[in-house]
């Protein structure tokens, strides 16, 4: 297959990766902007490198002409979560999306691999619009915690280094660290509510401050500078008290003040 053909074949996969990454990131933003805890911590996407496609086809005895049909992970999305519980929430989302048709699920969290690998895999069909019309292709979505991602990234690079098998003493250490990650994930799950509460409070406060600053900026169009300096001083005073309720009240009062100025202007 010549390079030009490779580019044409991989282009829709890149489009799928770009679109899905953006969609999952938007979901994460929607959560945060509405002051709710997001089960999605980070979204990563990649199209498999040509060298890796060739390698996998060779390993599995797949004819290159059949790679789109036989390989599930030419387009790959990785969703990183903070807690194991979040993984199942994200899986549920994916199952209910109208733009993705789940065709296979592999739960390597409940059924950890021999290597120690843990992750939830989904193979789904996704349609992209191209110049030649709609094209439905397969996407592999891996959902895992920050800890699982740390472990598999390290282990993956060692797999690359030791092409003919990771030496036993390293494999043993890797397995032990996978067990340590399992303990870490379980420990974090135990204090999940506490962590979520604290992150929510942080997000809520950040949203209120953004609203206040936006309102003050808008006031420049209506109020005089002395008035604005007074409002800003008031804001800094309340901000230094570190009281979210007071900040919220101030934000509401500011809305009323802005409304008053706008009415005067009309
Ligand atoms: P890469 O470079 O990440 O793309 P398949 O390999 O998909 O044809 P299989 O083996 O049933 O068939 O799929 P599986 O087990 O679901 O694995 C698919 C992907 O999961 C792998 O893709 C890895 O990304 C990841 N994975 C699976 N097992 C392990 C493991 O033991 N360690 C690590 N670090 N990752 C794993 P590729 O193509 O192997 O690699």
pLDDT, one tens digit per residue, over 201-211 is 888 899 999 99
Catalytic residue (one of 33, 101, 114, 140): 140
Residue 259 has pLDDT above 90, yes or no: no
- Return mean pLDDT, the chain: 93
Could you tell me which residues are beta bridge partners of residue 78?
44, 142
pLDDT of residue 263: 81
Tokens (6 digits) for 75: 């387009």
> Three-state DSSP class for 78?
strand
Active site residue 140: yes
Handedness of CA 246, 251, 252, 253 (dihedral sign): positive
**Do the Cβ atoms of 219 and 228 come closer than 8 Å?**
yes
> Three-state DSSP class for 93?
helix
For ligand 1, which residues put their CB under 6 angstroms from it?
48, 52, 56, 72-73, 106, 113, 115, 117, 121, 152, 155-156
| Span 115-164, pLDDT tens digits | 999 999 999 999 999 999 999 999 999 999 999 999 999 999 998 888 88
Nearest CA residue ID for atom 26, ligand 1: 117
Q: Model pTM?
A: 0.86
The span from the CA of 63 to the CA of 53, in Å, is 11
Atom of ligand 1 nearest to the CA of 73: 7
Category of 88 on φ-ψ map: left (φ > 0), alpha (ψ -120 to 50) or beta: alpha
């Amino acid at each position: 297959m010549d390079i030009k053909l490779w580019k044409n074949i991989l282009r829709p996969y890149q489009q799928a990766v770009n679109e899905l990454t953006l969609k999952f990131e938007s979901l994460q933003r929607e959560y945060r902007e509405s002051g709710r805890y997001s089960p999605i911590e980070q979204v990563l996407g990649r199209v498999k490198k040509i060298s890796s496609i060739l390698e996998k086809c060779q390993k599995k005895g797949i004819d290159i002409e059949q790679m789109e049909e036989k390989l599930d992970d030419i387009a790959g999305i990785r969703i990183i979560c903070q807690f194991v519980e979040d993984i199942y929430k994200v899986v549920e989302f994916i199952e209910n999306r109208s733009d993705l048709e789940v065709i296979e699920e592999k739960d390597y969290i409940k059924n950890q691999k021999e290597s120690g690998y843990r992750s939830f895999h989904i193979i789904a069909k996704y349609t992209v619009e191209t110049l030649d019309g709609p094209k439905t292709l397969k996407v592999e979505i891996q959902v895992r915690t920050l800890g699982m991602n740390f472990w598999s990234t390290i282990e993956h690079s060692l797999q690359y280094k030791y092409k003919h098998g990771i030496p036993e003493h390293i494999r043993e250490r890797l397995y032990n660290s996978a067990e340590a990650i399992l303990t870490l994930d379980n420990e974090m799950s135990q204090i999940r509510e506490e962590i979520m509460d604290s992150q929510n409070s942080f997000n809520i406060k950040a949203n209120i401050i953004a609203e206040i600053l936006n309102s003050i900026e808008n006031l420049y169009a209506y109020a005089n500078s002395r008035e604005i300096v007074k409002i800003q001083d008031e804001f800094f005073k309340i901000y230094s008290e570190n009281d979210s309720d007071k900040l919220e009240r101030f934000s509401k009062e500011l809305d009323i003040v802005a409304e008053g100025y706008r009415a005067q202007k009309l």
